[in-house]
A and B are shown apart, each in its own frame.
Chain A
């Protein structure tokens, strides 16, 4: 475990370094508060620290106040005050300022060692909670079958991307993808194969899009793809690439391999409109793709110059294998 020491007295600093190293800590010693702050900003693994109170420049109390005022998701730093000040009022000030514990100088090494074990216990507890939170957050935002963003998360992402497009004026397209005849696959091959088809489809979509495109599971066999920076041409190309990737490799099944195709409806986002409207246009394009024979991409541009629903400029095309 890595520990920061901020102590201006070279004798005490040296003593601390030698003791802590003999107890197996990796020690980062500094001689003033400003250097300690720099170290804390740079190194998130400094989860334990010992500060002297009186230091030139930034003193221990101001240092710990600054540390506690940091509002971000970095892991907690457990800080022990080492001080020659022993008046009750001073100790109280230190604890209220943000120190977790204190030890008066000259300190007893055995006591310091024990206090650091207490600190490690708290930090271990925090690490376990952070880990659990991390897993819970992932579960809350991802679809357990496909590993893609779930409906809530992909809609949140879309809302943010539309906001961004509104601010920056950049192009943005949104695609709705529906696996063709999925009910038929489920009925003839069983639900396990149906699940396998969804998993494989998710993986192939993920591989077909660009790294900064976002893919989510929108509903049963429906997926939503956010394509930033893309107008109708680019979005259409990506849509075709997805169709090709899906149809290209059948999903192996006991009876016979399942060839999976999908229909895709793309709307070039009109940032002046609400998300709901933009999704509605993508849904209409998807409906057209289905109607025109499936395994194809339909794009609509509800652009500013030609407001929907009058004569939408659109680009259509089946994927030809």
Chain B
């Protein structure tokens, strides 16, 4: 065992621990400009910028819950929970045309389906970084449009 965390799990602590793990990738800095495809996102909402902003607001809130679910699943070694949570977040980020985030979520989903959570903790920081950048990009979108 490399490290431990006491139950009940504190999400912040767990995130810090996973991010600080040796050998794991450092939390990635992703450019907000390249993390999403605005044109695709607009197509997905039928061209309505108002609706896109509304979804961005909702995502700002929901993405945190989804990330927490993924962390909980990793902490609890719960493969089916990881599969479901990663699948859900994949659907959401695809909607914004965030393909890198979606690819990482897909990797987690597949680990969950296979029942092998081994490398999940190493993939998580990348997803977290992509989502942070996406949120920043969406925030920019909201500011510009208002």
B55 to chain A, nearest CB (A): 6
Measured in the bound complex, the distance between the Cα atoms of B58 and A130 in whole Å is 43
Q: Does A190 contact B (CB under 8 A)?
A: no
The secondary-structure label for the interface of chain B is helix
Which stretch (A10-18, A37-45, A304-312) binds chain B? A10-18
Q: Check A11/B46 contact, CB under 8 A, given A56-B84, A84-B94.
A: no
Question: Number of A interface residues, CB 8 Å?
Answer: 19
Q: Please judge, given known A-B contacts A15-B95, A18-B54, whether A109 and B88 are in contact too, CB under 8 Å.
A: no
Contact B54 A14 (CB under 8 A): yes
| Bound CA span A74–B97, Å | 40
Verify B44–A107 contact, CB threshold 8 A.
yes
Confirm or deny: B91 has a beta carbon within 8 angstroms of a beta carbon on chain A: yes
A9 an interface residue at 8 Å Cβ cutoff?
yes
Task: Tell yes or no: A8 within 8 A of B by CB.
Answer: yes
Return the chain B residue nearest A52 by Cβ: B91
* Bound CA–CA A14/B95 (angstroms): 12
Contact B55 A9 (CB under 8 A): no
Partner of B62, one of A10, A54, A56: A10
Q: Judging by beta carbons under 8 Å apart, are A11 and B62 in contact?
A: yes
- Please give, as numbers and ranges, the residues of chain B lying within 8 Å of A15 by CB-CB distance: 44-45, 51, 55, 95
Contact partners of B58 in chain A: CB under 8 A: 10-11, 14
Question: CB of B31 within 8 A of chain A?
Answer: no
Chain A positions 74-133 with a Cβ under 8 Å from a chain B Cβ? 84, 105-110
24 contacts between A and B (CB under 8 A): A9-B88, A9-B92, A10-B58, A10-B62, A11-B59, A12-B92, A12-B95, A14-B55, A14-B58, A15-B44, A15-B45, A15-B55, A15-B95, A18-B54, A19-B51, A54-B84, A54-B87, A106-B40, A106-B91, A106-B95, A106-B97, A109-B44, A109-B46, A110-B46
Interface residues of A (CB under 8 A from B): 8-12, 14-15, 18-19, 22, 54, 56, 84, 105-110
Known A11-B58, A11-B62, A14-B54; 9 more pairs at CB < 8 Å: A9-B92, A11-B55, A12-B95, A14-B55, A15-B51, A19-B46, A22-B46, A84-B91, A109-B45
